[in-house]
A and B are shown apart, each in its own frame.
Chain A
Amino acid sequence: MSPRVMAQIAMVMNLDKCIGCHTCSVTCKQTWTNRPGVEYVWFNNVETRPGQGYPRRYEDQERWRGGWQVDAKGRLKLRAGGRLRKLLGIFANPLMPSIDDYYEPWTYDYENLTRAPLSDDVPVARPRSLITGEPTTVRWSANWDDNLGGDPSPDPLLGRIQDQVKLDFENAFMFYLPRICEHCLNPSCVASCPSGAMYKRSEDGIVLVDQDRCRGWRMCVTGCPYKKVYFNHKTGKAEKCTFCYPRVEVGLPTVCSETCVGRLRYLGVMLYDADRVSEVAATPDDKDLYEAQLSLFVDPDDPAVAGSGLPADWIEAARRSPVRDLIVKYRLALPLHPEYRTLPMVWYVPPLSPVVDALATSGHDGEDADNLFAAIESLRIPVGYLAELFTAGDPAPVTASLRRLAAMRSYMRAVNLGTRPPEVGISDEELRAMYRLLALAKYEERYVIPTA
């Protein structure tokens, strides 16, 4: 049967380049959510991993029951159950993070600095809650555990790989995970909304809340396993990352992308078979979801695409899509938590990291060109941790991606030093194309966005 081809504007973030600076968070915040009612809302946030994330421990779906699961008969069901059950608990929804799980937004008595009368000590600006207006104590924030601050052990992922991780100085590791709405192919937020206010745009796949129709049920907050739908407590409506559609529609990158100083975000078109979404999302084994989602993507040169009714410039954009190259062609990018079965469309290139000291002193001789960048197995970030993030615990795709990155580096080092490149099992052309996309990363190659 010929696929029903739809287009999705998707994003890839190369975590290997992320410096954790949070510029994306700030420009997004300033543009979209620095208003009353959404002070605590970060459409884009950046988490240090290991760490609890924002809202804290959002990945603990045993607790929050976001996303989908397959039942005994292999059918896809919202994890949080039917709407009736949720309606009953609407005023004390136990399946929704409280403001304390996000954080209680605050400001300071800045005026005191200028207006303080003559007294006996230096004026100071105390913190004050933006919700109660009372003096407050800062105990938690959207980024409390930045750079391993505090104890990262409540990180739900760590619990699953305890044997592989030691949280001590000698073995310290960290990386950053910037997150926006996943604009899923199978969005559980949309499915959770009792008002029909949430929808996925047919032309570009952006998931939005219709502000006129939203009735503030907050089912979407529960339904989203990534906790990327937020409740505006002034308007009483849900709000979420809009993929900056007023910009994307005119061919501009999202704010978070264009302002990313690590130059790690890529935007482009992905084509997929809309008819197979449910089937793929119901893939029985969590570990097969990554491959299953890959199978959903349609080659722009597939004959079915020509007859799909998609505009020619969109098909052309799909051909030149950097996102497609990173996901499909080079298999460097991986989905975030495929086991939530929402078929997320913001993917990630996993990060390389330093070798562990103990291994550097023995065995891994950096003078050997093949080994200069060390074996993937000896990197500080445990592959198991990355696998819990990106491949439902299967280390193989993560290792494969990291190996390709390391192979490209070894090859390019030889080019750089004018020596004979090592045989790495990938063609010269492909290595150089990967290098161009990842390293040179020119603006017009990072962002290939057809206009609406």
Chain B
Amino acid sequence: MSQAEELLLKTGRFFRRSVTSDDLRTVHLSGGRKGDAFYRDRWSHDKVVRSTHGVNCTGSCSWQVYVKDGIITWETQQTDYPSVGPDRPEYEPRGCPRGAAFSWYTYSPTRIRYPYARGVLVELYGQARAAGLDPVAAWAEVTTNQDKRDRYQRARGKGGLVRITWDLATELIAAAHVHTIKTYGPDRVAGFSPIPAMSMVSHAIGSRFVSLIGGTMLSFYDWYADLPVASPQVFGDQTDVPESADWWDAAYLMMWGANVPVTRTPDAHWMAEARYRGQKVVVVAPDYNDAAKFADEFLAVNPGTDGALAMAMGHVLLREFFVERQVPYFTDYVSRFTDLPFLVRLAERDGAHVPDKFLTAADLGSTDEAAEWKTVFLDAAGEPVAPNGSVGFRWTDSGKGRWNLRLDSLPRLTLLGGETAEVQLPRFDQEGVLRRGVPVTRVGGHLVTTVFDLMLAQYGVGRPGLPGSWPQGYDDAEEPYTPAWQEPITGVPARRAEKIVRELARTAEATRGRCMIVLGAGTTQWFHGDTIYRSFLTLLLLTGCQGVNGGGWAHYVGQEKCRTQTGWAQLAGALDWSRPARQTPATPFWYLHTDQWRYDRFDADELCSPLRTGRFAGLRTADLVAQAVRNGWMPMAPTFDRNPLELGEAADPVAFTLEELRSGRLRYAAEQPDDPRNWPRVVTIWRSNLLGSSAKGNEYFLHHLLGADSNLPEPDGQAPRGKLDLLVTLDFRMTSTTLFSDIVLPAATWYEKHDLSSTDMHPFVHAFNPAISPPWETKTDFSAFHAIARAFSGLARDHLGTRRDVVAVPYQHDTPGETAQPGGRAPAEVAPKLVVVERDYGAVAAKLAALGPLTERLGLPVKGVTFHPDHEVAWLGQRNGLAAHGPGKGRPLLDTDAKACEAILALSGTSNGRLAVQGFAQLAERTGTDLGGLAHEGHRIEFSDTQARPQHVAASPEWSGKESHDRRYSPFTINVEHDKPWHTLTGRMHFFLDHDWMHEYGEALPVYRPPLDMAALFGEDGAGQLVVRYLTPHSKWSIHSEYQDNLIMLTLSRGGPTIWMSVRDAERIGVADNDWIEAVNRNGVVVARAVVSHRMPDGTVYMYHAQERVIDVPKSEATGRRGGIHNSLTRVLIKPTHMIGGYAQLSYGFNYLGPTGNQRDEITVIRRRSQEVEY
């Protein structure tokens, strides 16, 4: 009998004899009994408040928060979403168990109630202050004295937090910022806070502060590896996807690496219900996952080989629906909306040819404006034409009214029937290259073929008369990309691959494109995730599914859509006061500053095409990062090895900076990331748990960036430790990040503030409202940053004054900059685009609280159009009141979170029809097509509307899809229905990417690239041990790290960190269910318990995402130190092609394009460890 059992039995004292009655089997009693009063009382409450959870999950569910006696008791879902139609299910009730468990945090023992700081730091700072130093000097003393610096940095993550006052906290933070800006430069200050959509104002307020002082905001979408780089590559769009109600319109649904019931819990019912409308459902996943339960067919695929399956499906599709038979709908669609008809020049190589660049008007001798940006196809008569719609028409005067997809006749897809040429194409499944023939012709002296002909060659779909080596049939396992070829790679039977794609294509043919593929992190977050995605998108583009309701891709990975994009961006970038804002792609930022670049063991050339030119030979990936920065392709912080305020002191700062660069006296910081001048110094994190969740290479962060102890097995002694002077985190619960932070500020929860929430999963925007005031000494992010700003301005007024800051701007997507480098080739010496920004540092607090004049003076740019919100600014002045004095005098106030919500709604097209109409009118001028009727001036959402009920947003040039109360959102419907080009080179969706770096990587066309061979790349030897693929899919019991420490979620799961493994793998190392195990590789160590299950395939383990070190993690046997988080076994690996810039759709945009923090290619050794654990 257990101890607990014994204790419970002592309750026997409650058992008293009483009169037992006769058989009571059919006892019925009427009415309410006194004995029931307890439950009635428990149910009663004083009020119910609408709010939601600002968590990174895309749910954006509206909740009812119950309050009794001033205490939050529990929550249930709202059910009052506007109807989406009488003939379809509704969105109610959105929610999930994690959200339902949220109120536990409010009064939980992990709640952060007061400001805390690292005791050692507080002591050192106190001593410096007591010695008479002012705050800035005191901070300088503590951080520049090596001994003191070591003392507090080495104490990071080891407890010893002490409670401090808000005044001291903000003084420390302000002093650190002022000192950093003064000594090293404002671009040594960084802010990290992801996913604005999950609480726009809370995000914007911190970002606004960071932007006003000239600090840099770090991107998150690419860093999280949620950004599908294939989207900018193919669509020229960050990510735009259907709302979940549009799954209902799909007649065929594939869930490919996406576990919808777990990761899109509130939306999953659409999938279940659409089956009743006759939708067929196919699930492709490595494990028998939650979604598989709903499938009509489940394909178990070897992890990371999904691209091979999709390539084989593409092979069948091209053969059966384009060569053996033509489907008019498909042919028409690809001719109008994809780059398939466009001509590609062939270059000679080793007696054969290789695909080179798109043929442009310039190649044909045209001297028209932007002729080198006008791509060419052959019209029906066989004449070369540079059709409207390419990027050459987007920014030029002569392109006005011509940036559209209108065609007089359909172009030629194939040149079959004349000359042929053999082309060499890369393959990565084994050594060698493919040699296959394409039909060719000569245009203007150039040997050309079409993208379509190249696609058939790439996919191995032969036609009579073409030279080269081709598959003999579907059963030919030797030649890519047949069904038989993929079978040994993916484990999916060839016949099933054929059958599924045939069904998909026939359904698309019958429904004009109503087939959808839901794609998830399981297929995105690989090093070569972009190639996997392109092979999926091929299936959808060829079958005319994109831009059709019920069709197309549905990438659901961290894509959270801030529907009120423009208003949010305005506030978040402080663009109303100064432009541009500094922004940095986070992956290369962390890669450099956590010194992970030093641990690359291979050349950048290593992963290139067998047909490479060798342009990366002898270079490390870090060299390419520096090159991308020098080329103006991508920004980086810090930018230069000098304080940009110092550069601003020159009479002509731009000329001076360029001259200094030219002379070599000034260098890019990315070239020497370990030079102390080039370290980031202050990082503030809010709405995020970097070190418990997204930090790929977690141990490198701890060791190099923070100077803390880590489980890094072989630290590079050459590299610096402890770069960061100050790490500040705002949170309401203790996380791995707060444990390592120097200052921890107690944040209000989502039930304690005003804010806005939206997602792309549904078309509504709705409010957060406080059910109670922030308890203890907690503050909303909004008031915390105002407090910081006030303290900062106080110190900065004297220490900094008004300064000029030199900001380097990359070539941005959706601006004329995207046509700066013809052919995608940077000149030998690129002069960066520099902008001088004046910063009145004493005025920061005042500017934070008022809407600046650039709002109406320069307008609000979004995706190439500009809103002019003159009426709106006047309205906001009336609604919010005007600042009475100071730098913001006469400007609309933004001094409360509710007013900031109001401003966001007023300044966005989706919530303000007047702006949307304005934007569409501008766009129509450029396209020359009719965009009338897409938006309506009368549509207007105010904050109080969102507090009353979720509000339906409307169509706006901010997004690519049409929407109205009777039209579900599907991306690119405006493009397809209104001849509006995609924001790409050709203006169409791209199969072919002709940038030099794409060729170098062998990825100009869709291609299969296997997962990285980590053992070979890093020389890791796991001989004789259980070496497994280490995957970190999203958990059922948490949203990233949020809720993984929640008692209710822990009770419903295994109560701590776990790793799932197959029965056979467990047997091999003698592991039983719930045994302690350790996962160890060259990046770190994880200690967890095993969940042994026959649901898992052999050779792969899952450690569900974001299990932190805070809950039940003992010391590791391997290192004797606390085990790590799931990301202790991963690290950053940068794919160079993600850094391409200045070339049409391959141009930089914040969270639009950048290297992904992918982590799925990793492997680890798993061992059973001693079952005696120590904490």
CB distance from B460 to the nearest CB of A (A): 23
Q: Select the stretch in B303-311, B559-567, B1051-1059 that faces chain A.
A: B1051-1059
Q: How many Å lie between the Cα of A360 and that of B275 in the bound state?
A: 19
CB distance from A134 to the nearest CB of B (A): 8
Q: Judge whether B896 is part of the interface by a CB distance below 8 angstroms.
A: no
Q: Which residues of A sit under 8 angstroms from B110, Cβ to Cβ?
A: 110, 113-114, 125
**Residue of A21, A121, A245 touching B261 (CB-CB under 8 A):** A21
Q: How many Å lie between the Cα of A187 and that of B12 in the bound state?
A: 25
**A32 and B90 contacting across the interface, CB-CB below 8 Å:** no
Q: Select the stretch in B26-34, B519-527, B973-981 that faces chain A.
A: B26-34
**B18 and A195 contacting across the interface, CB-CB below 8 Å:** yes
Q: Which residues of B sit under 8 angstroms from A111, Cβ to Cβ?
A: 109
**B27 and A200 contacting across the interface, CB-CB below 8 Å:** yes
Q: How many Å lie between the Cα of A90 and that of B94 in the bound state?
A: 45
- Could you mark each residue 31-50 of chain B with 1 if its beta carbon is under 8 Å from any beta carbon of chain A, else 0? 10111101110111000000
**B27 and A196 contacting across the interface, CB-CB below 8 Å:** yes
**B293 and A174 contacting across the interface, CB-CB below 8 Å:** yes
Q: Judge whether A31 is part of the interface by a CB distance below 8 angstroms.
A: yes
Q: Which residues of A sit under 8 angstroms from B20, Cβ to Cβ?
A: 83, 194-196
Q: Which residues of A sit under 8 angstroms from B74, Cβ to Cβ?
A: 27, 30-31, 34
Q: Which residues of A sit under 8 angstroms from B603, Cβ to Cβ?
A: none
**B77 and A32 contacting across the interface, CB-CB below 8 Å:** no
Q: Which residues of A sit under 8 angstroms from B736, Cβ to Cβ?
A: 122
With A116-B160, A141-B1053 already in contact, the answer to whether A108 and B1109 are too (CB < 8 A) is no
In chain B between 495 and 538, which residues have their CB closer than 8 angstroms to a CB of chain A? 495-496, 499-500, 502-503, 506-507, 510-511
Q: Closest residue to A22 on the B side, CB-wise?
A: B97
Q: How many Å lie between the Cα of A346 and that of B39 in the bound state?
A: 21
Q: Which residues of B sit under 8 angstroms from A212, Cβ to Cβ?
A: 33-35
**A21 and B2 contacting across the interface, CB-CB below 8 Å:** no
Which of A26, A32, A118, A169 has the most B CB atoms < 10 Å from its CB? A26
**B298 and A191 contacting across the interface, CB-CB below 8 Å:** no
Question: By the criterion of a CB under 8 Å from any partner CB, how many residues of chain B are at the interface?
Answer: 148
- Could you mark each residue 1-45 of chain A with 1 if its beta carbon is under 8 Å from any beta carbon of chain B, else 0? 000001000000000110111110111011110100000000000
With A92-B9, A141-B1053, A194-B21 already in contact, the answer to whether A32 and B30 are too (CB < 8 A) is no
In chain A between 128 and 149, which residues have their CB closer than 8 angstroms to a CB of chain B? 129, 131-132, 134, 138-139, 141-144, 146-149
**A259 and B100 contacting across the interface, CB-CB below 8 Å:** yes
In chain A between 376 and 424, which residues have their CB closer than 8 angstroms to a CB of chain B? 380, 405, 408-419
**Residue of B30, B40, B1121 touching A121 (CB-CB under 8 A):** B1121
**B103 and A30 contacting across the interface, CB-CB below 8 Å:** yes
Q: Which residues of B sit under 8 angstroms from A247, Cβ to Cβ?
A: 43
**A100 and B108 contacting across the interface, CB-CB below 8 Å:** no
**B297 and A366 contacting across the interface, CB-CB below 8 Å:** yes
Q: Judge whether A106 is part of the interface by a CB distance below 8 angstroms.
A: yes
Q: Which residues of A sit under 8 angstroms from B19, Cβ to Cβ?
A: 195
In chain B between 27 and 81, which residues have their CB closer than 8 angstroms to a CB of chain A? 27-31, 33-36, 38-40, 42-44, 73-77, 79
Q: Select the stretch in B434-442, B654-662, B716-724, B1110-1118 that faces chain A.
A: B1110-1118
**A126 and B273 contacting across the interface, CB-CB below 8 Å:** no
**Residue of A120, A259, A416 touching B93 (CB-CB under 8 A):** A259
Q: Which residues of B sit under 8 angstroms from A299, Cβ to Cβ?
A: none
Q: Which residues of B sit under 8 angstroms from A237, Cβ to Cβ?
A: 14
**A118 and B89 contacting across the interface, CB-CB below 8 Å:** no
Q: Judge whether B585 is part of the interface by a CB distance below 8 angstroms.
A: no
With A124-B1113, A247-B43, A263-B89 already in contact, the answer to whether A129 and B276 are too (CB < 8 A) is no
Q: Which residues of B sit under 8 angstroms from A415, Cβ to Cβ?
A: 278
Q: Which residues of B sit under 8 angstroms from A131, Cβ to Cβ?
A: 3-4, 7-8
**B97 and A143 contacting across the interface, CB-CB below 8 Å:** no
**A149 and B1073 contacting across the interface, CB-CB below 8 Å:** yes
CB distance from A420 to the nearest CB of B (A): 13
- Could you mark each residue 208-226 of chain A with 1 if its beta carbon is under 8 Å from any beta carbon of chain B, else 0? 1111111111000000000
Q: Judge whether A59 is part of the interface by a CB distance below 8 angstroms.
A: no
- Could you mark each residue 1-25 of chain B with 1 if its beta carbon is under 8 Å from any beta carbon of chain A, else 0? 1111101110111111011110111
**A245 and B36 contacting across the interface, CB-CB below 8 Å:** yes
**A258 and B1094 contacting across the interface, CB-CB below 8 Å:** no
Q: How many Å lie between the Cα of A197 and that of B35 in the bound state?
A: 9
CB distance from A76 to the nearest CB of B (A): 8
Q: Which residues of B sit under 8 angstroms from A151, Cβ to Cβ?
A: 1073, 1092
In chain A between 243 and 261, which residues have their CB closer than 8 angstroms to a CB of chain B? 244-247, 255, 258-261
The number of A-B residue pairs with CB atoms under 8 Å apart is 428
Q: Which residues of B sit under 8 angstroms from A117, Cβ to Cβ?
A: 159-160
Q: Judge whether B329 is part of the interface by a CB distance below 8 angstroms.
A: no
Which of B33, B275, B276, B292 has the most A CB atoms < 10 Å from its CB? B276
Q: Judge whether B158 is part of the interface by a CB distance below 8 angstroms.
A: yes
CB distance from B1089 to the nearest CB of A (A): 8
Q: Select the stretch in B264-272, B783-791, B803-811, B918-926 that faces chain A.
A: B264-272
**A209 and B35 contacting across the interface, CB-CB below 8 Å:** yes
In chain B between 249 and 280, which residues have their CB closer than 8 angstroms to a CB of chain A? 251, 261-262, 265-266, 268-269, 272-280
Q: Which residues of A sit under 8 angstroms from B495, Cβ to Cβ?
A: 361
Q: Judge whether B288 is part of the interface by a CB distance below 8 angstroms.
A: yes
Q: Which residues of B sit under 8 angstroms from A448, Cβ to Cβ?
A: none
**B2 and A100 contacting across the interface, CB-CB below 8 Å:** yes
Q: Which residues of B sit under 8 angstroms from A34, Cβ to Cβ?
A: 74, 104, 1048
What interface size band does chain A fall in? 35 or more
**B273 and A441 contacting across the interface, CB-CB below 8 Å:** yes
**Residue of B8, B16, B506 touching A233 (CB-CB under 8 A):** B8
Which of B100, B493, B1074, B1092 has the most A CB atoms < 10 Å from its CB? B100
CB distance from A67 to the nearest CB of B (A): 12
Q: Which residues of A sit under 8 angstroms from B739, Cβ to Cβ?
A: 113, 122-123
Q: How many Å lie between the Cα of A114 and that of B746 in the bound state?
A: 12
Q: Which residues of A sit under 8 angstroms from B100, Cβ to Cβ?
A: 23, 26-27, 30, 259
**Residue of B9, B159, B268 touching A91 (CB-CB under 8 A):** B9
Q: How many Å lie between the Cα of A236 and that of B10 in the bound state?
A: 11
Q: Which residues of A sit under 8 angstroms from B292, Cβ to Cβ?
A: 354
Q: Which residues of B sit under 8 angstroms from A99, Cβ to Cβ?
A: 2, 4-5, 8
Q: How many Å lie between the Cα of A256 and that of B1153 in the bound state?
A: 43
Q: Judge whether A272 is part of the interface by a CB distance below 8 angstroms.
A: no
Q: Which residues of B sit under 8 angstroms from A116, Cβ to Cβ?
A: 159-161
**A211 and B35 contacting across the interface, CB-CB below 8 Å:** yes
**A17 and B1091 contacting across the interface, CB-CB below 8 Å:** no
Q: Which residues of B sit under 8 angstroms from A233, Cβ to Cβ?
A: 8, 11
Q: Judge whether B1047 is part of the interface by a CB distance below 8 angstroms.
A: yes
Q: How many Å lie between the Cα of A25 and that of B40 in the bound state?
A: 20
**A360 and B496 contacting across the interface, CB-CB below 8 Å:** yes
Q: Judge whether A439 is part of the interface by a CB distance below 8 angstroms.
A: yes
Q: Judge whether B228 is part of the interface by a CB distance below 8 angstroms.
A: no
**Residue of B29, B296, B1047 touching A372 (CB-CB under 8 A):** B296
**B1111 and A108 contacting across the interface, CB-CB below 8 Å:** yes
CB distance from A264 to the nearest CB of B (A): 8
Known contacts A124-B1111, A210-B36; 9 additional CB pairs below 8 A are A30-B74, A106-B1051, A119-B158, A124-B1112, A191-B25, A233-B8, A237-B14, A261-B93, A412-B277
| B interface list, Cβ under 8 A from A | 1-5, 7-9, 11-16, 18-21, 23-31, 33-36, 38-40, 42-44, 73-77, 79, 87-90, 92-97, 99-101, 103-104, 108-110, 112, 116, 119-120, 155, 157-161, 251, 261-262, 265-266, 268-269, 272-280, 283, 288, 290, 292-298, 300, 493, 495-496, 499-500, 502-503, 506-507, 510-511, 709, 734, 736, 738-739, 1036, 1045, 1047-1048, 1050-1056, 1060, 1062-1063, 1073-1074, 1091-1098, 1109-1115, 1121-1122, 1175
Could you give 20 example pairs across A and B, Cβ below 8 Å? A19-B261, A25-B1052, A30-B103, A31-B74, A98-B2, A114-B734, A125-B1045, A147-B290, A148-B1095, A150-B1073, A195-B20, A199-B27, A236-B15, A261-B77, A354-B293, A357-B493, A372-B280, A417-B278, A443-B90, A443-B92
The 10 A-B residue pairs with the shortest CB-CB distance in the complex, in nearest-first order:
A413-B278, A236-B14, A118-B160, A116-B159, A138-B1055, A210-B35, A439-B276, A19-B261, A113-B734, A110-B109
